[in-house]
Every structure is written in C-alpha cells, then in structure tokens.
Amino acid sequence: MSSLVYGLLTSLIVTFIATPYVKKLAVKIGAVDAPDQRKVHKRIMPRLGGLAIYIGYLVSFFLFVPYEKTEEMLGIFVGGTIIMLTGMLDDKFQLSPKWKLLGQLVGTAVVVIPFGLKIGIVHLPYNGYIDFSSGWLAWLAIPITIFWIVGVTNAINLIDGLDGLSAGVSGIAVGTMAVVALIMGYSGAGAYYNDVATYCFVLLGAILGFLYFNFHPAKIFMGDTGSLFLGFNLAALSIMGFKEALFVSFIIPIVVLGVPLWDTFFAIVRRIVNNKPISAPDKGHLHHCLLNMGLSHRATVLTIYAISIFFGTIAIVLSKTTQLWTTIILIAILLFAVHIGTEIVGLVGRRYRPLINAYRRLKIKYTERRSH
C-alpha cells in the first residue's frame, strides 16, 4: 500500500513543480494554441502541458513501478514515450493526421505488442472460453489490440476541448482502473493486479498535479503531448488489467472509458448522418452540446466529470458482480441512459430523438383516450 501512496504523491509533486517551467518552454518554442471558430478559448495558450505530466510520471515510474517483473509494464513505458514525443511534435509543428497515426502505430504495433501486451483469454459463461493467446486467434488478437489502443488514444484526444476536461476524465478513468485492480488483487487474483494498481496511482498523481494548472480558467493546455499519452496509457492499462477476464467483466474497460467512447461513437454517427467525412472536425461533441444548452464552461466540465464517475461506479459494481443476469440488467440500464442522454443533449442532432418522440406520441394518445 505504501508504494501506491508514495507513487501518487511523487508524481503529483514532480508534475506540480515542473508545469510552470514547461509553460515557459512552450511559449519559448512556440508550442501554443491560437483561438479559432471551432475552439472555446479566446486567447493564445501554451499547450505542452503533457510534458509536465510525463516528467512526473517518469520519475515516479522508475521509483515505484515494478516494471522489472513484467515486460508489459516496460512496453507501456516505451510505447507511451513514443506517443508522447509524437504529441510534442504535433504541438510544435502541427503534424498531419497520418503522421500522428504513424506514431501511434509504432508505439502500439512495434513496441507494446512485441512486449507481450495483447488481448488474452476471455472466459465465457458456463465454463467456456475464447483463447486469443494461441492458434490462429493469436493473429486476430493483434489487430484487435491495435484497433483498441489507437481508438481509445484518439477518443481521449477528441474530448480535449475544455479546460481540465480531458485530464479530469482521464483521472477518473485511471482511478476507476486502480480500484478495480485492487479489488482483483485483494480477491486472490495475485500480485499482478497490485502492480497494475501501482501504475495507475503513479499516472493518477501526475494527472492531479497538472489539473491544478489546467482546470478552468486554465493556465496551460496539455496539448496532444498529454491527450495522446494519457489515451495510450488508458488503452494499454485496460488491456493489461483485464486481458484474462471473465466475460461479465470483459466490458469493464469499455464502461470505464464510457465518456470518450460515447462521444467518439456518436461523433462518427453524426458525421455519417450529415454526409460529412468521419475525420471532419465539428462543434457537435458532448462538451459543445452542453455549452449550447446554456451551461457555463466550469459547469459543463463538472457535468462530464459526474457522468464519468457514474460510468466508473458501474464498472466497479460490474467487477464485483458474479451473476450474468445482473450484468445484463446493469448494461441494459447503462445503454438506455446513454441513448436518452444522447437524444437530450443532441449529440447526433437536434432532430434525432426517436425515443423521446415515441414517448411523446404515446403520452398524447394516452391523454386523448382519457379525454374520451
């Protein structure tokens, strides 16, 4: 337990001290973010804050994370460093999407997977299982792992649109993973999950140390240096923590990362519905929708924090659930809440409200029958 606390405090303090210096460096080298019609901020902001997160993480990683026990930990560190450098180059030189994608593929396919991190065994109900660690399924595990890591990495990058939003959501997700890993570790699953928890606490401390400077009104943005680095780590940790999971808990990583995945999924749907390229930027993301509903900048961020905590709580409950039907009911409730939320805030569009409109029609018919 001491390594968890010391790891968190060390990364928090180092990041807190490093952030003002990184801010000066960002301004000096021109790694700044100018406002435009799609962005919310109104003045030029330094955006290299992810480097401060990385510095705090780096120091605490080598002091407290038992990376020598498993190649996977070292693989996440090396791959994350490549991703961080890719983000730094983008913050300075505005790389094209294909070059950013190349950096992500190198960090994932060339580093993380050869270090042994990929989807393993999925235990199905009634003593069945799918083994992605051997045979022809081992080849299928590679593209699935790449798709998951690259997808989550970019999902975190997409929600980085308001002060403290991406850092806070990432912190809640990391904290949730730490709790679930500790539950698995204490339940007799082995020291492996305690090591995963230690890594999570180290990363969480770095996020919290930076969030002090990043929460509204922000003094510095994390930039792609931070959002890509955190997204990569969240994706890799979700595989490491649940790569030999029961079927009922296999969906836990998806629930933990519910907010960015929800926003990204409906961003794709929205662009398809509106006949726009999937990669085309717009102002229809979750935070944009909440702002359009009249919420302030800070209230929007806190609302999304609350949604993230809701997802995290469901994930923790799922990790303790042993009954398949309980899991199915929880997931059904979660999916219903997500869809209703999507219609209320207008993530796909203001006219896309099938469930709400169906309810209104039923209410009108019921009222008419009562009146007769």
Return the pLDDT at 247: 45
Q: Is the pTM of this model over 0.85?
A: yes
The rounded average pLDDT for each run of 10 residues, N- to C-terminus, in the chain (372 residues) is 89 98 95 70 83 97 82 92 96 92 95 87 59 75 90 88 92 91 69 83 97 94 95 89 53 79 87 80 84 92 93 84 77 89 86 84 81 68
Closest CA to 61 of 48, 46, 43, 80: 80
Binding residues: 157, 224
Return the pLDDT at 249: 46
Binding residues for Mg(2+): 157, 224
Per the CB < 8 A criterion, the answer to whether 23 and 15 are in contact is no
Return the pLDDT at 239: 83
Residue 33 three-state SS = strand
Per the CB < 8 A criterion, the answer to whether 286 and 159 are in contact is yes
Maximum separation of any 2 CA atoms in the chain, in Å: 76
Return the pLDDT at 262: 87
Return the pLDDT at 37: 59
